[in-house]
A and B are shown apart, each in its own frame.
Chain A
Amino acid sequence: MTDAIDRRRFLKVLGVTGTGAAALSACGIGPEPTEKLIPYLIQPEDQIPGIATYYATTCRECAAGCGIQVRVREGRAVKLEGNPESPINRGRLCARGQAATQGLYNPDRITSPLVRNASGVFEAIDWDGAIPQLGAKVREASGRGTVFLTGAEASSFGDLVGEWMAQVGGRRLSYEPFAFEALRAGNRLAFGTGTVPSYDFANARYLLSFGADLLDTWLSPVEFQNGFARAHAFDAGRPASMAKFVYVGPRMSLTGMNADEWVATRPGTEGALSLAMAQVIVSQRLAPLPGDVGRLAELLGRHTPRAVAAAIGVEREAIVRLAREFANSRGGLAVAGGMAAQYPNGAEIVAAVNILNYVVGAVGTRVKFGADLGVGETNTFADLAALTADMAAGRVAVLLVHGANPAHSLPGAFQQALGKVGFKVSFSSYMDETAAACDLILPDHHPLEQWADSRPRAGVYALQQPVVQPVFDTRPTGEVILRLAGRSGGGTFKDYVQGKWRELHRRFGAGKSFEQFWFDALQQGGLYGDAPARAVRLANGIDTAFSRVAPPADAESETGGEVDQTVVVFPHPVLHDGRGANKPWLQELPDPVSKIAWHSWVEVHPDTAAKWGVAAGDFLLLKSSFGAQKFPAWITSSVRPDVLAVPTGQGHTAFGRYAKDRSANAFELLGVQANSYGGRNFSVRATATKTGEHRRLVTTEGSPRERGEGTVEVLSLARARSLRPGDAPFHHAETPEYAAEAVEWWAERQHEKAELGDYRGEQPRWGLAVDLSKCTGCSACVTACYAENNIATAGEELMERGREMSWIRIERYWLSDERGAPYGAVSSPMMCQQCGNAPCEPVCPVYAAYHTPDGLNAQVYNRCVGTRYCSNNCPYKVRYFNWYNYAERGGEWEAWPEPLSMLLNPDVTVREKGVMEKCTFCVQRIRGAQNQARLQDRNVRDGEIVPACAQSCPSEAIVFGDLNDRRSEVSRLAGNPRGYHVLAGLNTKPAVTYLARVVAAEAPSHG
């Protein structure tokens, strides 16, 4: 980007050139007399108006470090997509990543430095006043305790913070509320190394997760989900080699939902199950065993299935069967973390799972030490607890916080301790709880506005570049530190990052000039290499380290009567620890499991609910010995009867208009003391009391179960394997007999129509194929669709009334065994089916809904008068009505308050009140590709058009193309014997083919 125009100028230019994003003008045709065209002073070299420019950079929404490409139109970042070059996410992106633009253009960003004045109120200060003030405070505090607290920062920025702290005699600490301490401690226990390895899910042939939510929140969700889909999908390049997936944990998460079998062990006994399985494998020699396995003899001897079955609540036969399956697959991979590793014995559980991996030879092949993840360098919760104690004792004079919000995740203790700190500085871009308690706020640039890098895993160096001009008067914290450290003479923070990269150039840049090396890295989004593998052996004393693999006594006893419960606090899949809470896309995105949006909830088993007389939406007051919070009940069989589960993410007391005062903060229930391995216990004992209050849950769940109507189809693995090309297991539903005559009549009319005007001749028929054996329900597609198609967020109140605008929604249906207990769920993305014989079209009185020659059910917004007949007649319920003018400036339902409107896609009309809308198959991308192809005198190639949902899908479940092109990927998939059409019996002839979910459970689950 050129720096030739200042920011205000820049915003003005944008206002005009982004013509497409202008709201529908009420009067319609004709020029607006006052419309202005403001030219650039100097045309940016890399921008052509109307054509998007893509910049490679790195997503910083979590520590996974996915590569992204930012689509920039006329200087605005309008859409993020995965960078295919990145070995982490392979071109895919999750919902949280998609929503980064809502952080960039967030209306609640801090627009300039703020300082607390004498009366305790924040007032604006200029940078030249603020930085020296901080410098003076840091000098003053020398020797009296200076602490710089960052988020997970395995990066040059982290290095710089460390160097500066060393210079001023302070210390650096990094903090992640979910920092995987159990994983690190468990690895140390088993192998003597406290690092976090990477996992090769793609090459596993049997997957076993002990509470590790690898598809939603664990370590690197996009990477793992992509690998998971490669292993677990029915035919992802390895025909009929579908890896079975077993989930062990007290609550079914998004990850657990995708399992072929759910084993709900008693909380805290996951390690015992793992050791019992290892015992079976070793004693029956089910796998080629490593040489030193004899050292485990005594430990495993204590954990025979017979000995532990009762304690863990799983039958002995089941343990033996699981062990056999795991070993016989010759590619077993077990992971532990998340919910299974948050008990006081979490480290032992991880170590036990390590042993299971070790005995089948997974360590070194599918568990890769050496390619360690950067998040493993984060400080532990024990370190933060120690800091909190130091602060409370007045031993911290200056505290600087960047990229972390401990006042939210440690609500009581940290906030109180903050009061004892002499001078508190926040670098937050938002007025979060921590920033609100600070004395000085020096807002950082958003990651999309600045230079930086990160090291998500050993061997991978991800680069970050500014893709847009800064929106507000913010400054990169790196620059501020360089100036405070007296090093700004040495250049900008970009120069600092480049300095670090010169070191990489010396190591990896053989034969290239640094400029070329840097340019290549910038273009690719980073430097992608493999770290050498590091062999690990069983640690000494492993057999004696397991005193606590059995659950701690208090978790077993059911004292305190029916209201004393184990409460599990789990990270929300998209709001995570709460950092996503001020982004309306993420608030409006229904949780993939509960389908609840905009508020938190407590998961209660139906048996428990019946016992207590609790109905869905009744508030339960949970009271632990640390705090009390009330949550509305969501009643579900996906949680154990003796466990209540609560998500984090909500309950902010600050942070912004979308997050503040919304629902309750689950962190309030948790203790502030670190446990034996330095982590935090996310499960507590609490009493649950009905408060008598009630609310309607904001949920998009229609029916929890598919009632045999053919909405989703599921095949057993054996049945799926027996299918041959041409088989049609679901064909019976296609044309019911009673409709035969009508269908015949319809087919004749089609022939007549096909001879008219534009409909003559060969036309494409755009279609989608959705493989349900790949879809995990993660909902990345939903947020991608919001971003691409300018979909308004309706807000809590309207969503409660069912008025959300989500063009693509994820329908979740439980899978149950013969006893009715769920063992998993099928997730099915539901978008407009672009029917060949669409019920919506003939009922539109004004031809706003009509059929295009290329087979789309088009919706002409400017013709729509809002009768809503089309929606009433749509059997899929995929049409959405604009009840209000969501684009109205300052309106009651405004969805894009300034500057959020800057992320609107200029290629898509912003719909206004009274207009019906729905999925268009991203027609703007179709037309864009057609325009481009025509300029080059060719036709559109297969795979050239990728709708936003298909682009983002981490498991590559969605394929788009021309069904009339026999060689296209989508027509090949449409002919797959697993393919079916939803509600095919209605003769709607959808263009969306779903491929049935395949479940690997031959024998239904217990548990």
Chain B
Amino acid sequence: MVSLVLALPLAAQTPAGRYQAPVVTDTGDLKGPRQPIFFRHDIHAGEDQIPCMYCHYSAAVSSEPGIPSLQTCLGCHVVVSGGTRAGLEGDTGAAQAERAQIQQLRTAWRDRKPPEWIRIHALPGFVRFPHQRHIKAFGAQSCSKCHGDVQRMPQVYQVETLRMGWCVRCHVENKVSRDCSVCHY
């Protein structure tokens, strides 16, 4: 059995002058599908500046980006209970709401029932997209090229079409292969 590791990434502790995620009062206004837990990429990746690949751990080495296990969440949230970030400004209602989400996560861990996330970015079965090649070409900060500014999204939605024409345009601009069998096999 793997033991729980408490490891807060360094970025999370960097102070001052950084983005503050907004307080969301009406989730009905947000773009994108509602997720079983109101996980906020804008707080984690934006305000706390946790690198994308802290959770999506295999994007640089594998075709698959990796969906973080609940254990990864608990790595922080075993101690981080939420509701204390600067942006809340003593808004107790909002703080409570955020704590409730983290509580939901802990409950899921206790019950060994991982949340069933709604998938946002999906490709049809006949397309191969190697994440690692794109990270290698554009660097670890390049996720937003395709996924949009996730660091500013309280709820993630699909920004780009992920259609073939959109893929090919980028391949043309960057003078890389447009051969069909690079992606289709």
Q: Which residues of A contact B (CB under 8 A)?
A: 2-6, 9, 17, 19-25, 28-33, 35-43, 45, 48-51, 757-758, 850, 852-854, 856, 858, 860-863, 907-910, 920, 923-924, 927, 931, 934-935
Question: Does residue B18 face the partner (Cβ distance < 8 Å to A)?
Answer: no
Classify the secondary structure of A's interface with B.
loop
Instruction: Check A934 against B114 for contact (C-beta < 8 Å).
Output: no
- A39 and B126 in contact, given A48-B61, A862-B184, A923-B185 (Cβ under 8 angstroms): no
- The answer to the question of B179 belonging to the interface, with a C-beta cut-off of 8 Å to chain A, is yes
Once the chains bind, are A907 and B128 in contact (CB under 8 Å)?
yes
Asked whether B7 is an interface residue with its Cβ less than 8 Å from the other chain, the reply is: no
Main secondary structure of the interface of B (DSSP, over half): loop
**Cβ B66 vs Cβ A48 within 8 A:** yes
Closest to A850 in B: B180
B117 touches A49 (CB 8 A): no
Instruction: State whether B181 touches A860 (Cβ < 8 A).
Output: yes
**Can you pick out 20 interface pairs between chain A and chain B where the beta carbons lie within 8 Å of each other?**
A6-B112, A19-B64, A20-B128, A25-B124, A30-B163, A31-B122, A31-B158, A32-B119, A37-B67, A37-B117, A39-B67, A40-B69, A41-B71, A41-B112, A42-B69, A43-B72, A50-B58, A50-B64, A758-B178, A909-B185
Say yes or no: A31 contacts B71, CB within 8 Å.
Answer: no
Taking CB as reference atom, which chain A residue is nearest B176?
A758
Q: How far is the CA of A908 from the CA of B128 in the complex (A)?
A: 9
Q: For the complex, what is the distance from the CA of A38 to the CA of B118, rounded to whole Å?
A: 9
B126 close to A861 (CB less than 8 A)? yes
Q: For window 48-96 of chain B, which residues contact chain A by CB distance below 8 Å? A: 57-58, 61-72
**B9 contact set on A, CB distance < 8 A:** none
Which residue of B is nearest A887, CB measured? B125
For the complex formed, measure the closest distance between the CB of B126 and the CB atoms of chain A, giving whole angstroms. 4
Task: Tell me if B10 is interfacial: C-beta within 8 Å of chain A.
Answer: no
Cβ A35 vs Cβ B112 within 8 A:
no
6 additional A-B residue pairs with CB within 8 Å, beyond A23-B125, A42-B2: A4-B1, A29-B164, A41-B70, A850-B180, A927-B181, A935-B136
Nearest B residue (CB) for A29: B163
Whether B139 sits at the interface, judged by CB under 8 Å, is no
Interface size on B, residues (CB 8 A): 52
CB distance B117 to A38 under 8 Å?
yes
For chain B, residues 29 to 56, give those with C-beta under 8 angstroms from any C-beta of chain A. 33
- B179 and A852 within 8 A (CB): yes
* B8 contacts the other chain (CB 8 A): no
A49/B179 contact (C-beta < 8 A), A31-B119, A42-B69 known: no
Most buried by B among A6, A19, A858, A861: A19
Q: Are A51 and B62 in contact (CB under 8 A)?
A: yes
Question: Residues of A contacting B182 with CB < 8 Å?
Answer: 927
Among A2, A37, A49, point to the contact of B119 (Cβ < 8 A): A37
In the bound complex, residues from chain B placing their C-beta under 8 Å from that of A4 are 1-2
- Inside 8 A of B133's CB, which chain A residues have their CB? 931, 934-935
Task: Name the B residues within 8 Å of A856 (CB-CB).
Answer: 181
| Residues in chain B near residue A908, CB distance under 8 A | 185
B130 at the interface (CB under 8 A from A): yes
Q: When the two chains form their complex, are residues A29 and B2 in contact, meaning their CB atoms are under 8 A apart?
A: no
Question: B114 near A853 (CB under 8 angstroms)?
Answer: no
Quick one: which of A3, A45, A49 has the most chain B CB within 10 A? A49
Query: Who on chain B is nearest to A47 by CB?
Result: B58
A-side contacts of B115, CB under 8 Å: 39
Question: CA separation between A482 and B113, bound complex, in Å?
Answer: 34
Most-contacted residue by chain A among B69, B72, B132 (CB, 10 A): B69
Chain B residue contacts of A19, Cβ below 8 A: 64, 122-123, 125
Tell me how far the C-beta of A735 lies from the nearest C-beta in chain B, rounded to whole angstroms.
29
For the complex of A and B, list the 6 residue pairs with the smallest distance between their C-beta atoms, beginning with the closest. A50-B64, A50-B62, A49-B64, A31-B122, A40-B69, A858-B181
| B161 contacts across to A, CB distance below 8 A | 29
Contact across chains for A36 and B136 when beta carbons are under 8 A apart = no
Bound complex: CA A35 to CA B124 (Å): 12
Residue numbers in B under 8 Å from A37 (CB-CB): 67, 116-119
A51-B62, A935-B61 known; A40-B114 Cβ under 8 A: yes
Given contacts A2-B2, A31-B158, A860-B180, contact A924 B72 (CB under 8 A): no
A29 pairs with B124, CB closer than 8 A: yes
Which of B72, B118, B162 touches A36 (beta carbons < 8 Å)? B118
Chain A nearest CB: distance from B173 CB in Å?
A: 14
A49 touches B180 (CB 8 A): no
Provide the B9-22 mask, 1 if CB < 8 A to any CB of A, else 0.
Answer: 00000000000000
Contact A935 B122 (CB under 8 A): no
A860 surroundings in chain B (CB, below 8 A): 180-181, 184
**Closest residue on chain A to residue B119 by CB atoms:** A35
Q: In the bound complex, how far is the Cα of B70 from the Cα of A315, in angstroms?
A: 79
Q: Is B169 an interface residue (CB 8 A)?
A: no
Known: A852-B180, A920-B185, A934-B133. A39 touches B128 (CB 8 A): no
Q: Which residue of B lies closest to A9 (CB)?
A: B112
When the two chains form the complex, which single residue of A9, A17, A853, A863 contacts B177, counting CB atoms closer than 8 Å? A853
- Residues 101-159 (chain B) with a chain A CB within 8 angstroms: 109, 112, 114-128, 130-133, 136, 158
**A50 to chain B: which residues have CB within 8 Å?**
58, 62-64, 66, 131
